[in-house]
Amino acid sequence: MEQQNHSKQLLLQLNQQRAKGYLCDVIIVVENALFRAHKNVLAASSVYFKSLVPHDNLINLDTEMVSPSIFRQVLDFIYTGRLSSSDFVSDHSISSLLIAASYLQLTELAALCRRKLKHNGQTPSSSNKMTPSSSTSPTPNGHTPGPLCLSSTPLHNHQHHNNHSGSKKGSQRPGQEGRLREDLSEKVFISGSRCASLSPSGEGRSNGLGLDLSKRSPSESTATEEVSPSSLLQSSSPHSSSLSPTPTPPTTSSAKPEPPKTSTDLQPRAPRKRPRGDKVTPELEDGEVDGEENGLDQSEGRRRNGNTNYIYRQPQPGFEPGVGDNLYVCIPCGKGFPSSEQLNAHVDTHTHDQLYLKDEEEEEEEEEEECGGYLKDKDPDTCPDDSASKGVKPDAEEPGHLCTVCSKSCKDATSLRQHEKSHWLNRPFPCNICGKLFTQRGTMTRHMRSHLGLKPFACEECGMRFTRQYRLAEHMRVHSGEKPYECQLCGGKFTQQRNLLSHMRMHTSPS
């Protein structure tokens, strides 16, 4: 007995789930687009993906090998076994598909493309659909590189990739760190409100099931620079990710030790069950796509930006940008939609004035011209009225670079300008994922790391990974037993300065 169309129905369900982001447990980054998918499906379709998905929830593909539009077709093929005729508008498109298929070791798709190319050399295709079974000369193991097959095969790549940075064995090589940076150098954005559906160009356009991240709302476009993963990875340590050293390898956000472990599993002590549990994205719990700390702090994220131009509203309850059923996210209002069409319709309901109190360019100009002009609303947390408490000595240096607010002396105009920004209530750097606003670009990009699950700094002892090198150095004292911070009152020693400070408060606080 056999259920008719069982496999077909199963695949149909999976594809529908993919469209909704349901149970998707892996994100594939292709240039400026994100695609969510199911690890099992990818692993069943591609040797390459099979080697990667057990260890990585975020996979970055080499854009020299595959573009977002091509990968959309690839993903469609994986989930349907078909390529629409629109995917074969030219031999060039087929060639691009073949390159991608070879790169991703999608043998059936590669064979299909080769046959199609060969076929086009004789008679133009007029079929609407192409399936592997429709081919005239099936080659189930069509792994032999075709004319466009590339020397840099994914198999070669992932072998390096899977060597965890913390692993002392393996084939970690010089230059891997640099490779990591290159691989993630493609721009990555989480969808802005208009990006998913309004881009006029094909490449930048939302590609169906992927999130095009390149286009953002007008306010974002000037309030922030494009966030490049390379910038998020610039600080890779020598013992960080040992990603592929090959010239064009795909990479992932994090190279985890084998077997794959969560950070909590790697805790030298009893693992914390669910740190920041309230921030875990429910839909990601299975796959932990973003890592445990990568939940979206919506309460902080959707707040109005001080005195300026960028408004974030509280998102719909239960909605997490970019996950769950609402794949398409309107960043300005936080609403999610299951389709680009619905998002498109929604975006049109926003008027420019609703979203932005004033134009971004004006805001930028005002940043330049009115430094120090919005000091009445200065943030008490950042206001260096506390300069004394922080040991800042006003007028200590050159009198020519004094802060007009706190009289802090800066060594040069650049430092003064940066310092004066700390007085601004304005936070011109919003996170493209959660909308949280930051005063400095570097802080925002560091924050983005947590969303992307990028932890370049790995402990060689336990494999635990960190987003900051400083944290790793701090953590290493756990293994070394070094306790450099000593309480001058009771002689207690601590591995972390902050714990010493906490301890000191115990001494000083009235009891």
By CB under 7 A, is residue 159 in contact with DNA? Answer: no
CA-CA distance, 494 to 45, in Å (whole number)? 51
- Nearest to DNA of 42, 416 (CB atom): 416
Binding positions for DNA, 361-420, rule CB under 7 A: 379, 381-384, 390, 392, 408, 410-411, 415, 418-419
**Residue from the set 85, 442, 484, 486 that interacts with DNA by CB under 7 A:** 442
Cβ count near 115 (within 10 Å):
21
By CB under 7 A, is residue 358 in contact with DNA? Answer: no
By CB under 7 A, is residue 188 in contact with DNA? Answer: no
Stretch that binds DNA, among 189-197, 280-288, 357-365, 496-504 (CB under 7 A): 496-504
- Nearest to DNA of 157, 231 (CB atom): 231
- Nearest to DNA of 279, 346 (CB atom): 279
By CB under 7 A, is residue 222 in contact with DNA? Answer: no
CA-CA distance, 253 to 258, in Å (whole number)? 15
Tokens of 78: 């994986």
- Nearest to DNA of 58, 347 (CB atom): 58
Binding mask 247-276 vs DNA (x if CB under 7 A, - otherwise)?
----------------x---xxxx-xxxxx
By CB under 7 A, is residue 234 in contact with DNA? Answer: yes
Q: How far is the CB of 486 from DNA (least distance, A)?
A: 11
Q: Which distant-in-sequence residues (6+ apart) come within 8 Å of 399 by Cβ?
A: 409
Tokens of 418: 């940066």
CA angle 242, 244, 247 (to 5 degrees): 140
By CB under 7 A, is residue 510 in contact with DNA? Answer: no
CA-CA distance, 434 to 430, in Å (whole number)? 8
By CB under 7 A, is residue 214 in contact with DNA? Answer: no
Binding positions for DNA, 69-88, rule CB under 7 A: none
Q: How far is the CB of 270 from DNA (least distance, A)?
A: 4
Residue 349, exposed/middle/buried by CB under 10 A (0-12, 13-18, 19+)?
exposed
Give the H/E segment covering residue 52.
Answer: helix 47-52
By CB under 7 A, is residue 226 in contact with DNA? Answer: no
Cβ count near 360 (within 10 Å):
20
**Residue from the set 297, 325, 359, 460 that interacts with DNA by CB under 7 A:** 297
Give the H/E segment covering residue 241.
Answer: none
CA-CA distance, 126 to 318, in Å (whole number)? 47
Stretch that binds DNA, among 58-66, 247-255, 366-374, 469-477 (CB under 7 A): 469-477
Stretch that binds DNA, among 36-44, 61-69, 323-331, 489-497 (CB under 7 A): 489-497
- Nearest to DNA of 277, 282 (CB atom): 277
Find tokens 């309460």 and name the residue. 299
- CA dist 484 to 261, 352, 478, Å? 30, 55, 11
